[in-house]
Amino acid sequence: MTTETLLDPQQLIHARVQLASEIDRGSAVLSSRTAEAFLNTARHPFVPVFYRNTGSTYVPWRITDGNHDEWLRQVYSNQALVTEVDGVLADDAEPAGQTGAATSSSTMPRLMADMLDALDIRTGDRVLEIGTGTGYNAALLCFLAGTQNVTTIDYTAPLVLSARTRLRENGLEPTVLRADGAGGHPAGAPFDRIIATCSVRRIPQAWLDQCAPGGVIVAPIKGTLDGGAVACVTKLADGRAVGRFLATPAAFMPLLSGPEQLLAIPEQLDGAQRSAAISGRVLDDFQFSFWAHLHLAPSVVRRGRQVDGQHSTTLYDAADGSAATITDRPDGPPTVTTAGPRDLWRPIEAAYEQWRAHNRPRREWLTVEATPEGQSVAYTAPDASVSRWSL
């Protein structure tokens, strides 16, 4: 039995209208073109099987597993749907499930809508997407730009294969390629619009080079900390790209490029101890953690966990072996234990003080500029003073 035979067409129309209204309620301003794209593009053909997270395991869920009304409600709700865990597609998973980390998902529709709105696609625009995943966003791009104008790239061969098939079964024939999206798609350049649905520490130079003057790039920027933000930049005639960040928080999966290194963060630090001005939990606030990430070297990684019922955060920089563990205490200020040449918690304490002194700037108040020489983020305070960080 297929999905289509289990669902009646009226129910499917109702589900799509529901999703478009839910997106409209949550988005800043949903353009009529974006709303039209969601109303005309079904999600369920791209996620016939997705994982439910039970806490310890990801269990595959297909419409034939019973209660298909609930299955459909999940598919057309404002939720990300995980479709790959540690490289295993939900379609191929054992019924008992899969443990590991999510490696592909269909993004939260409201976030997709905000990114598509920012991309501002006109029919006929040549569009490049990095991170095909299920193919649902590519289908929306086809609606907005025209199917022959869309190229989408994913790193993983099985994802590319299933997305290409599902797009074709739905009458769409964009170019779907298996490649490392960090390099863009030189053979198809220039593009009028480039969108990434995986996060990068900075915008890869290849995307800037392959974007036509006047073109737009929408890309999630994220480091090791939880808070990410979506940059929307316009390429200028002089080769620079300038823009801002969207208000919507975005913690996308990272763009994987080349052999990934699993960094072993030290388990226990025996270095010097001091009192901390703030708890490591400040990094769980998405607004602050994006600001904080601007103050950290790209090589720093974070691990947060509970130790004896108390929150503990470790920052580690493999570049010089510096590490800091910040541990909450029930009876006093948190402590910092440091190792290596630098105290990695000091810049975060200073960043927190600065963030509060500026009345907690929101991510959408920051601007971004990319030149061939470097990329930076800036905040202009009401007194016209400017803070600037390299990406």
Nearer to ligand SAM, 181 or 334 (CB): 181
| Neighbouring residues of 308: CB distance < 8 A, sequence distance ≥ 6 | none
Size, binding site for ligand SAM by CB under 6 A = 25
151 binds ligand SAM, rule: CB under 6 A: no
CB contact at 8 A, 328 and 311: yes
23 binds ligand SAM per the rule CB under 6 A:
no
* Among residues 154, 192, 317, 343, the one that binds ligand SAM under rule CB under 6 A: 154
When asked if residue 49 is in the footprint of ligand SAM (CB under 6 A), the reply is no
Q: Which stretch binds ligand SAM (CB under 6 A): 134-142, 215-223, 264-272, 288-296?
A: 134-142
Q: Give me the residue whose beta carbon is nearest to ligand SAM.
A: 133
Q: Is 15 in the site for ligand SAM (CB under 6 A)?
A: no
Based on the shown chain and the rule CB under 6 A, indicate whether residue 111 belongs to the binding site for ligand SAM. Answer: no
Q: Which residue has 């500026």 as its token pair? A: 358
Q: Which of 197, 289, 313, 338 binds ligand SAM (CB under 6 A)?
A: 197
- 314 binds ligand SAM per the rule CB under 6 A: no
C-beta of 145: minimal distance to ligand SAM in Å?
Answer: 15
Report angle CA 68, 70, 73 to the nearest 5 degrees: 110
87 vs 327: CA distance, rounded Å: 34
34 counts as binding ligand SAM under rule CB under 6 A: no
Nearer to ligand SAM, 111 or 278 (CB): 111
The whole-angstrom separation of Cα 135 and Cα 159 is 9
Residues 6+ apart with CB under 8 A from 35: 20, 23, 24
Does 210 engage in binding with ligand SAM (CB under 6 A)?
A: no
CB crowding 176-199: b at 16 or more within 10 Å, else e: bbeebbbebbeebbebbbbbbbbb
d(CA 46, CA 43): 6
| CA distances in angstroms from 199 to 178, 250, 253, 315, listed in the order given | 18, 9, 6, 20
d(CA 24, CA 26): 6
48 counts as binding ligand SAM under rule CB under 6 A: no
Note whether 180 binds ligand SAM by CB under 6 A.
Answer: yes
Contact with ligand SAM (CB under 6 A) among 37, 89, 159, 229: 159
Among 108, 112, 148, 152, residue whose Cα is nearest residue 130: 152
Binding residue for ligand SAM, selected from 156, 210, 248, 375, defined by CB under 6 A: 156
Among 132-140, 300-308, 344-352, 368-376, the segment contacting ligand SAM (CB under 6 A)? 132-140
Which lies closer to ligand SAM via its Cβ, residue 221 or residue 292? Answer: 221
Residue 45 near ligand SAM by CB under 6 A: no
Edge to edge, what strands does the sheet with 127-130 contain? 175-178, 150-154, 127-130, 191-196, 211-221, 229-235, 241-249, 366-371, 374-380, 386-390
Closest CA to 361 of 381, 331, 388: 381
Question: For binding to ligand SAM (CB under 6 A), which residues are involved?
Answer: 104-107, 130-131, 133-134, 136-137, 153-156, 159, 180-182, 197-198, 252-253, 255-257
